[in-house]
Structure 1
């Protein structure tokens, strides 16, 4: 893979260079020392993967991720000093399209040992893109390669507990994107996402305006408006149809998939109340 490094610390850059260089299948194509420089470099030479730090001058990693995914999309892996202590920034960066996060390797051990977890995550992302040289399929569609499966789940009464049962067995390296439409009021949606995120191995996030479905991540509708997939592959919210009593509506989301998503994929409708999702499920079939 052609890998770029974004970090303002010389010692961190050296550690990442050593880890990447320890695998002959990978090479460092460029280095940027802040998010603004990274955006400019990505626009000129789009790599297969960016190793993105979070705390940097000029433009931090969260904003850099947002800008890169909007203007020069390519796969981004957050690599920072302490993922656990920066969970808020990590989830924010992932909300903008970063695929995963890992702790920064140290220089006190051999590269293949110090960077074992980083190399493992790079290998997973390389597998998802097909392991081919040059520009990746992931980069071509801002976070997922062409053909990435989508699992769309509609859920209503009794759904939260059942969602845990459905999502918990799935591996964190699942090569499919997941979007969940749960009938729940907006004021409780954030709490549901946090609760699911603690109980299932896959990262669970609120589906934000402009997000794209990303392999190995669960996006949950979190508004009293309807979540839809737009023609450019991004997710967004709409109040229409206003007469739809179920909000967010499973049918509205499923119908948007009929118009704008290309197979492969699976649609799942859990039992609940009313018929919301039935027509959309038939249309997808």
Structure 2
């Protein structure tokens, strides 16, 4: 059974290009196209697609408004296309707040080393979010919007490169991790969080719930382009009680401050809490990489790290989390039901690395309990 896709963009050339890529996959089929948000809403109601690809900037009705209305009328997984500019990043983050699941740059060469890799990535992204049923849930305090996923993702063989190995059919791994309602008694010097697809909304939900006097410094690794991490850190800082900034070389970890790894680079943390940002190996798939940052924390903070893996495609973070656990640090994972994509959390859970599997709306509360925060 193919995944039905609606392609929305005001450029006829781009609609045709994206449609050709989608239809080249045996698992995907473009059932309709639209050239603005208003047409998109009509097409969604008429055709009920499994996934929508949506441009941010369009005449008549822009993509952000269209996402809001679609999530109110017929909640559907939406993949946004955006320009890699600060303004484009801000608009895309607005679309994610409104309920979109994920985004990709409009210039495919910005996300891949060659044409075939870009084609494969787009097809995989659509497949990964296709089986997530989402609903628009306004946040009371910050006005943010959370897409809630509650159906297991169907995995096709073509996804094996990015997804932890499974039986080839449905990801339905039941976590053996337990969820405690009281502190473990461990002590920590840093909180580290790694995430990818669905991460911007997940991080907003967690960080906005933390108090201004939060006891620990926070290290954040989100798969995201450089222009997006700058805009995202600014948005988080304006919405949170804690301080949030894009990390820079020379920053020293301080309690109550979160440091977001800059896109396109790698972030290392030294034993004295000093941050080092560098270009990293070009061969690495992820820049920033959760594995790289977590590995540096395992070396510098050993058993004093509380690390959490949130929603995301692939298995980045598994090896770094394994190193942290071998040093005595604590590893948690987001549970499957609340993930947009249960790839990264599944990887650490299935490997027996995570000690707890926690619903997104319980993560902040669980952190505060673990740290005995007053």
Residue pair 1:177, 1:216 contacting (<8 A) in 2 also: no
Q: Residues 64-79 of structure 1: matches in 2 within 5 Å? A: 64-79=66-81
2:243 counterpart of 1:192 = yes
Structure 2 gaps of 5+ residues are 137-146, 153-174, 182-188, 214-236, 247-257, 262-287, 291-309, 314-337, 339-357
Inter-partner Cα distance in structure 1 for 2:97 and 2:128: 20
Specify which of 110, 120, 123 is matched with residue 127 of structure 2.
123
2:371 counterpart of 1:271 = yes
Structure 1 gaps of 5+ residues are 130-136, 154-160, 203-213, 218-232, 234-260, 275-285
After superposition, the CA RMSD in angstroms is 4.5
Deviation track 1:149-178 (CA, whole Å, cap 9, x = no partner) reads 9x9x9xxxxxxx834x2x03xx42589956
Which residue number corresponds to residue 146 of structure 1?
150
Inter-partner Cα distance in structure 1 for 2:85 and 2:10: 17
Specify which of 185, 196, 216 is matched with residue 172 of structure 1.
196
CA gap of 1:187–1:111, structure 2 versus 1, over 3 A, is: closer
TM-score by length of 1: 0.56
Deviation track 1:82-111 (CA, whole Å, cap 9, x = no partner) reads 46661100111111111111022569x997
Deviation track 1:121-153 (CA, whole Å, cap 9, x = no partner) reads 223224xx2xxxxxxx515x453332679x9x9
| 3-state SS of 2:260 partner | helix
Aligned length: 201
CA gap of 1:46–1:29, structure 2 versus 1, over 3 A, is: same
| 3-state SS of 2:43 partner | helix
Inter-partner Cα distance in structure 1 for 2:105 and 2:238: 33
Inter-partner Cα distance in structure 1 for 2:27 and 2:85: 26
Which residue number corresponds to residue 6 of structure 2?
4
CA gap of 1:162–1:106, structure 2 versus 1, over 3 A, is: closer
| 3-state SS of 1:47 partner | coil
Inter-partner Cα distance in structure 2 for 1:272 and 1:117: 42
Residue pair 1:50, 1:76 contacting (<8 A) in 2 also: yes
TM-score by length of 2: 0.44
Which residue number corresponds to residue 132 of structure 1?
none
